[in-house]
Amino acid sequence: MRTAPVMASRDTHADYICRRVVDALLREDVRECVSRAQVVTGEVVPFASRLPPALRDGQWLMVTHLGEGRLWLPVQRCRFMQDWRLRALVLIWEHGRGLEHLQHLPAILARFQHGLQPEAARRFDDFAAECLTAVEHREICEDARRHYARTWQGEAGAVHALDRLDWSTRMLHYDRWAAFQDHPFYPTARAKLGFAAADLAHYAPEFQPVFQLCWLAVPQALYVGDIVPAEWWPGFADVGLDPALRKSHALLPVHPFMWARLDGYLAESGLRDRIMPAPRDHLEVSPTLSVRTVVPAVAPHWHLKLPLPIRTLGARNIRTIKPSTIRDGQVMQEILASIAAREPAIGDRLLLTDEGLGAHVAHQAFLGFILRRYPDGLEDSHLVPVAALPAAAPDGRLVMASLAARFFAGRVLDFFDAYLDLTLRLHLLLWIRYGIALESNQQNSVLVLSDREPRLRLLLKDNDAGRICASMFAARCPDWAPRLGRLQDRRIVVDSALPLAQMFSTITLQLNVAALVESLAEAGHGTREALYARVRGKLENVLAALEGQGEDTALARRVLLEDEHLYIKYLLRAASLESKETTGAADVNKFYGKSAPNFLRWS
């Protein structure tokens, strides 16, 4: 065998995605690659003498159940989200004919699918194709990132330069930086499955394009929902149709990417002959971080969420709009508004979008919309999704550091403390006092910074997939309990507090806090131990305050502070590699294990 090269220094897009995928396979124990493996030191592997010292010196996982041979993975101990991670990009397959270096995803995934039934094996083939798309899309978007960064070169204090822009343009700027960031855990999140390479420039937030929406005239008998009263909403003449149609039809917006594929959906649903396409496009929009949500140029306080036949964060995460979510999001926002009104500690620091307008056609997930209105008074604010905070700003610093220079006199850790205090206080209060956990991930949690309002504020949107423990909520708010009956997705209502702990751990703690800690440490703003100690201290302070108010924090203390491992979301397995029958998960975004080392115990 030739001396195995050490691949750790390579930084091609394919290698980058490959490393992320292998780390995810280890993190989620795919095919029991960790739980059934044997840990050995490099000196005792049978081919140790033929390895360079940098590769040999360290630990290996030896996996013996993926075929007639042994799979060797060079690994190192990890304390963030998993026990083991890859230390060099060269896996070795040892079998009767010799040794094979596995350095590319097709060969690695082929080994992991060995012995599976055809349907299960096909999922690995599909995921291999997803990986290729992720490589392609990452390369294109990294070029766009470098180009966009160059447009800001020479701007003295880029955050101050943003003050010249209106608030919505600033928000799109931060959305764009967030879009260039990888998802902390799902390895191929850069892939927008369904988009060809050319579609990225036309519709993706990394490019901030401007395009016009398409429109359908829908018979009112099929149209379920609201007629939008906004003055900027088009009339029938605006889209080239007879104005008399307003007596019998309603106008429905359609994303142009969906429009090009609409005929097949209409034929399949039997609606082709009942719905009238408008001959003219109308309403210029730009995409936000979520891709399928767009902001109208003439009405930036309104955001329009539209179905898209693409998949992100897994093959099963298609970005259409389930009719149930159109009303569920508004019910959740109403509940949150009621809580904010009675909780002065968070009431004036929590902003909520109004999600009360929306419609669908004949219960079809590919025909519908949600119209979201942002609060007034944001004109002098910077609205920054949490996903943007660890991104590299044009000046080379983290976006969080640039914002700290603008709003916290350069004190990054003061900014971090303010953020921790706000997000932990809010979400622990919701969980422990009201029995509510929100899936308010990095995209849907938006920081609001302003010179006029010295305290950091948090805006929440798109809360249609949270969890509410019915008994806890009814005990605290008996007059509000009937609101739960309005929720159409009954998975939102749960019968114990455990799903709340799981959602808080995997969304608020891991995505919105720990991923930021890792970026701050990487950028030199403190050691991981010191930063996690800050998190633990803030969390303990909030829990102590709630205990002083008579709340039961026992479950939260045990799950967050005492257990050796935290709950973790196995998104790759549930959303791509395994069937619902195998995982037993009612929701592919809520399939949990408990294998993440508890970083709050380091401090």
Whether the CA torsion 429, 432, 435, 439 is positive or negative: it is positive
Tokens of 157: 């204090």
Three-state DSSP class for residue 86: strand
What does the pLDDT average to over 301-330? 95
Whether the CA torsion 127, 132, 138, 140 is positive or negative: it is negative
Over residues 355-409, the pLDDT tens digits come to: 999 999 999 999 999 999 999 999 999 999 999 999 988 888 999 999 999 999 9
Q: Pick the residue with more confidence: 281 or 603?
A: 281
The pLDDT of residue 158 is 62
* Nearest residue to 600 via CA among 533, 538, 554, 545: 533
Largest CA distance in the chain: 83
pLDDT at 512 over 90: yes
Sequence-ordered list of residues with C-beta below 8 angstroms from that of 385, at least 6 positions apart, any chain: 174, 175, 178, 289, 442, 443, 444, 445, 446, 447
Q: How far apart are CA 347 and CA 181, in angstroms?
A: 31
Place of tokens 């050796």: 564
Over residues 254-273, the pLDDT tens digits come to: 999 999 999 999 999 999 99
Q: How far apart are CA 252 and CA 309, in angstroms?
A: 17
The pLDDT of residue 10 is 45
Place of tokens 């969980």: 431
Tokens of 474: 């009814």
Question: How many CB atoms sit inside 10 A of residue 185's CB?
Answer: 24
pLDDT at 160 over 80: no
The answer to which of 3-7, 227-231, 434-438, 591-595 has the lowest mean pLDDT is 3-7
Q: How far apart are CA 138 and CA 17, in angstroms?
A: 9
The pLDDT of residue 418 is 97
What does the pLDDT average to over 561-578? 96
DSSP state of 296: E
Q: What are the b/e assignments for 443-477, b being 16+ CB within 10 Å?
A: bbbbbbbbeeeeebbbbbbbbbbbbbbeebbbeeb
The pLDDT of residue 504 is 98
Distance of CA 293 to the CA centre of its chain: 14
Place of tokens 């800050």: 534
* Nearest residue to 248 via CA among 279, 272, 282, 223: 223
pLDDT at 4 over 60: no
pLDDT exceeding 90 applies to what percent of the chain?
88
* Nearest residue to 422 via CA among 452, 389, 447: 447
The pLDDT of residue 163 is 86
pTM, rounded to two decimals: 0.94
The pLDDT of residue 52 is 87
The pLDDT of residue 11 is 58
Q: How far apart are CA 85 and CA 83, in angstroms?
A: 7
The pLDDT of residue 9 is 36
Over residues 103-123, the pLDDT tens digits come to: 999 999 999 999 999 999 999
Q: Pick the residue with more confidence: 43 or 208?
A: 208
* CA angle centred on 316, ends 587 and 584, rounded to 5°: 35
CB 468 within 8 A of CB 435: yes
Res. 603 pLDDT band, cuts 50 70 90: low
Res. 155 pLDDT band, cuts 50 70 90: low
Res. 2 pLDDT band, cuts 50 70 90: very low
- The mean pLDDT of the chain is 94
The pLDDT of residue 8 is 36
Sequence-ordered list of residues with C-beta below 8 angstroms from that of 355, at least 6 positions apart, any chain: 329, 330, 333, 370, 371, 372, 373, 461, 462
The pLDDT of residue 154 is 62
The pLDDT of residue 60 is 96
Q: Give helix then strand counts, H and E, for the chain.
A: 20, 24
Q: Please give the radius of gyration of the chain, using alpha carbons only, rounded to the nearest integer.
A: 25
Q: How far apart are CA 576 and CA 130, in angstroms?
A: 10
Indicate the helix (H) or strand (E) that contains 417: helix 412-434
Res. 7 pLDDT band, cuts 50 70 90: very low
Show the domains of the chain with their CATH numbers.
13-118 (3.30.310), 387-601 (1.10.510.40)
